């Protein structure tokens, strides 16, 4: 399988993702700090606004990997940043991408099974080598559910951004009522 991998920082776990995917027989296309010439992030430990921050290229590198999936040039992607959150948000902005931030094997399995996730987002800070192996095992062992309710949810998720873009904002069918008929913000008893 062809898999795009991005990271805003050249961290050991990001390199381990690439190595582990190749060891499993996948072809890896690297982006961000993992590829010469791409936008580089800051070095780990760079302080900004009084706190330690990750690289500054997480949005660009995650978008690049996600676009490979959306264009069909890769079947999947793994996007990494310090927390994994920014990379998952950026990847999810690309139409056709369903990125899931997975910090454990159960979440990875569920993301593939119930969300048909095609992009795995990982935290450079929290993912150890052993945990990475467990997450990848679960990710690749799981298959998307064919259950009608699961498929309906996935189709709806895929249509959300399309409807918003077509209407120039909030989708026309957006409702201010909750699923149970109660107005949003009102307590249901």
Concatenating the DSSP letter of every residue in 91-151 gives: HHTSTT--EEE-SSHHHHHHHHHHH---EEEEETTT--HHHHHHHHHHHHH------HHHH
Concatenating the DSSP letter of every residue in 36-67 gives: TTSPP-PPTT-EETTEE---TTHHHHHHHHHH
User: Quick one: how many helices (H) and strands (E) in the chain?
Assistant: 6, 7
Active site residue 81: yes
From the candidates 69, 81, 94, 121, give the one annotated as an active-site residue: 81
What do you get for the CA distance between the two ends of the chain, in Å? Answer: 50
What values do phi and psi take at 17, rounded to 5? -55, -50
Of 37, 39, 43, 57, nearest to 10 by C-alpha is 43
Active site residues: 81
């Amino acid at each position: 399988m062809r898999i795009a991998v991005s990271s805003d920082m050249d961290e050991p776990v990001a390199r381990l993702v690439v190595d582990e995917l190749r060891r499993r027989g996948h072809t890896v296309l690297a982006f961000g700090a993992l590829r010469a010439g791409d936008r580089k992030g800051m070095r780990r430990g760079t302080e900004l606004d009084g706190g330690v921050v990750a690289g500054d290229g997480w949005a660009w590198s995650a978008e690049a990997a996600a676009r490979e999936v959306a264009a069909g040039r890769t079947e999947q992607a793994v996007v990494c940043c310090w927390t994994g959150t920014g990379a998952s948000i950026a990847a999810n902005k690309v139409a056709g991408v369903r990125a899931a931030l997975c910090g454990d094997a159960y979440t990875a399995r569920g993301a593939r099974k119930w969300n048909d996730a095609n992009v795995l987002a990982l935290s450079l800070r929290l993912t150890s080598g052993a945990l990475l192996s467990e997450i990848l095992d679960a990710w690749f062992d799981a298959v998307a559910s064919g259950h009608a309710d699961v498929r309906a949810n996935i189709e709806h998720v895929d249509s959300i951004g399309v409807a918003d873009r077509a209407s120039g904002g909030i989708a026309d069918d957006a409702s201010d009522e909750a699923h149970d008929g109660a107005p949003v913000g009102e307590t249901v008893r």
